[in-house]
Structure 1
Amino acid sequence: MSTQATGATMQFRVRYVRLGDVQVRDEYMAMASEAALRQKLQQEGFTVLSVKAQQRGASWLGWLRPKQEIKRDAYGLFCKEVRTLLRAGMTVVEAVDTLSAKEHLRDQSGPGSANGAETKVSLAGMLLTRLQKGLSLSTSLSELPQTPPVLVAAVRAGERTSNLAEALDDYLRFDSLVLNLRKKIISAAIYPALVSTVGLVISVFLLLVVMPNFASMYETVRTGGAEGTGVSGGAAITVELTHFIGKNRTMVIGVLLALAAMLMVWVSSGQAKANMMSLARRIPWIRLRVEDFQLAMMYQALTLLLKGGYAMTEAMEVASRSALSAPLRVALQEVKQRIERGGSVSQALADHGLCDEVGRRLMAAAERNGEFHAAADVVSRMHGERFELFVERLTRIAEPLLLLAVALVVGGIVILMYMPVFDMATQLL
């Protein structure tokens, strides 16, 4: 069947790799046809492993279906369990086989196993299949989609030095730093999200339930009842709004539900995160703090890789594939090229904005004593502490401002709701 689309692009799921890469890439791409997509990737030097056309609507309805994916947290738990089993005297294959058997027994004894429900994706099971074919653990990990490149590099370094348990320890320290920074963001966002949700629910309740109950009374006043002569000014606007909501309650509820559905799709598709990051990069002081978070991850990745025996340029190549923004990724690639031409590591990092004066001096000292991994670890902690301080201060500022905003919105609705009542009382005097 032809995958060409007339006058429009199609969405494809593509698995491809570049010779020498440590990770098979699995991405969604838009192109007019499968042939055009294959040609484009081949021209860029990639080897295409598979191309699958996505059905229309799959991009925004995919969140409705359960996804058979390996969560990022699964890699950290897997590394922790494998490290424990290796130190207990097992080989890599025995350790992975043990974890696979444990997950299989858990799936069989779990709810829904008796009626033939689909089991979850097993990371250990997928790796065991590859290990039994004679592949190394690092190669097996690189063939799985969404495997962190830093994990593959750390495992490969451990295989080179025959000390895989220590390499997994190093990766777990890197993973712990990243998770701790992300947990601080999530913890800081919980309270504002809760306050905003409660304020929104109260506002919707007042608009859809409380205000329409006054509609008949407001209507009597508006038409100039037995004692009244009607209302004017802000009270008149409130009467009109109340009357409109009362007459069109079904339509208003439908619009609100449609907005809620659009919000869910926006968040679940990942577009919300991309838009928020784009907005953050436009605000200088927020952009600097976001870069602190990314630089903390980058330098921690360099620490892990340099300690594992990678050369500086190799470590930078792997670190550039971590969760860095496009500008930082480009800057790191330029630093790598400058070092390959014989440039100073510390000066190249400073010139491209990847470290401050303290970081430059630490890296300059490392150029003299060779302890690059120790210097990178210190720089990583510096950026991490700055980001943590930023999150703490932002939370302390945002919480009272958000409470004030919610109070003003709810209070404003209540005042608008009772303005006609005050007007009625004035007319009756």
Structure 2
Amino acid sequence: QLRARLQEGQSLSDALAGLHEAPPVLIAAVRAGERTSNLAEALDEYLRFDELLQRLRRKVVSAAIYPALVTGLGIFITVFLLIVVMPGFARMYQNLRGKAGGLTGWLIELSLWVNAHRTATLAVVLAAAAAGIWALRSAWAPRLLARGAVVVPWLRARIHDFQLAMLYQSLALLLKGGYPMVEALEIAGRSSLGSQVGAALVRARASIMQGSRVSQALMAAGLCDEVGRRLMAAAERNGEFPRAAEVVAQMHGERFELFVERLTRIVEPALLLAVAVMVGGIVVAMYLPVFDMATRLR
């Protein structure tokens, strides 16, 4: 489609605008490059922006792979114990002492139910695994997780760091292309930055159009902290808005990466412990009647 539009004589920016999947920031960057006859540099700037976005996303996906594997292994071992191992123990206890009670009895009942619905159980497990793999590769899963994370204050703050890193990197790209701040904020607001950031951008644009300083408008809208405000205030004096936006984007990006690393260090051992407790609990429950019989014999 893109090549056909170009062959019709359309400009690259107009051809991209006709493609619904083209990001607004890319279209704006190409349009700026066409306007200044420096399209190659504009595309290079967008590639740097996209690299930052992909790096942060890869960080999240990489951090999710190990917990997903541990969780999958724990579920596989649990299902194996319930389908293959537990029925043998159930028959043994039935022959020795009748129906087992307590936790062991509950596990035996669960094992019997799972074996009675073995096909459905395996189908659910495989479907869950396929859904997990698809979610890691899809684009909507991170957005869905972000919406769920906003209810937790410390998670919401880190998601906000990711959104601000994308916002300021977009602003740096657009400002380098010659867009005024108000127009750059409007274009950046079309990106998938979340409804809260989008509403804050609308407030910031309105405040700037009414005569407020950029740093004050961004601060009042909740789009920068004190460090970001000072950087943007310095840019108001020297005109280096693109450079200031890049520094703010880097700052928020580093915060988000540090958060992902720390969360990974906490979640990985916690998941291992949870899986070990779950599997170990099943094994102990299987042998509880044996320990009970041994105690009675003594």
TM interval, shorter chain, is over 0.9
Q: Distance in 1 between matches of 2:108 and 2:249?
A: 57
Cα separation, 2, equivalents of 1:278 and 1:154? 29
**Structure 1 residues 357 and 273, CA gap change in structure 2 (3 angstroms):** closer
| Aligned equivalents of 2:113, 2:67: Cα separation in 1 | 34
1:164 aligns with 2:39: yes
2:104 to 216, 221, 238: 238
**How does the TM-score come out when normalised to structure 1?**
0.65
> Per-residue displacement from partner, 1:260-314 (whole Å, max 9, x unpaired)?
5367569659775454222200000110001101100100000000000001111
Q: How does 1:94-173 map to 2 (within 5 A)?
A: 126-173=1-48
Query: 1:129 Cα deviation (Å)?
Result: 0.4
How high is the sequence identity, in percent, across the aligned residues? 58
What's the CA shift for 1:256? Answer: 5.1
Letter in 2 for 1:154: A
What displacement does 1:127 show?
1.3
Tell me the matched-pair count.
Answer: 295
Looking at secondary structure, tell me which structure has more helix per residue: 2
Distance 1:159 1:231, change over 3 A: closer
The correspondence for 1:419, drawn from 280, 288, 292, is 288
Deviation of 1:259 after TM superposition, in Å, equals: 6.1
Equivalent residues in 2 for 1:24-423, closer than 5 Å: 126-223=1-98, 232=101, 234=102, 237-243=103-109, 245-246=111-112, 249-255=115-121, 257-258=123-124, 260-261=126-127, 273-423=142-292
Looking at structure 2, the residues matched to 270 and 142 of structure 1 have their Cα atoms a distance apart, in angstroms, of: 21
List gaps (5 residues or longer) in structure 2. none
Runs of 4+ in 1 over 6 A off after TM superposition: none
RMSD, matched Cα? 2.1
Distance 1:265 1:400, change over 3 A: closer
Deviation at 1:247, TM superposition (A): 6.3
Deviation at 1:328, TM superposition (A): 0.7
Aligned partners of 2:162 and 2:253 also within 8 Å = yes
1:303/1:245 Cα in 2 relative to 1: closer, same or farther (>3 Å)? same
| CA-CA distance at 1:426 after TM superposition | 2.9
Aligned-partner Cα distance in 2 for 1:275–1:176 = 22
Please state how far the C-alpha of 1:400 moved relative to its aligned partner.
1.1
TM-aligned CA deviation for residue 249 of structure 1 = 0.7
Higher strand share: 1
1:342 maps to a residue whose letter is G
Larger RCO of the pair (alpha carbons < 8 Å, separation 6+): 2
Distance 2:231 2:106 in 1: 68
TM superposition shift of 1:191: 1.1
TM-score (norm 2): 0.92
Q: Is the alpha carbon distance of 1:141 and 1:231 closer, same or farther for their aligned partners in structure 2, counting shifts above 3 Å?
A: closer
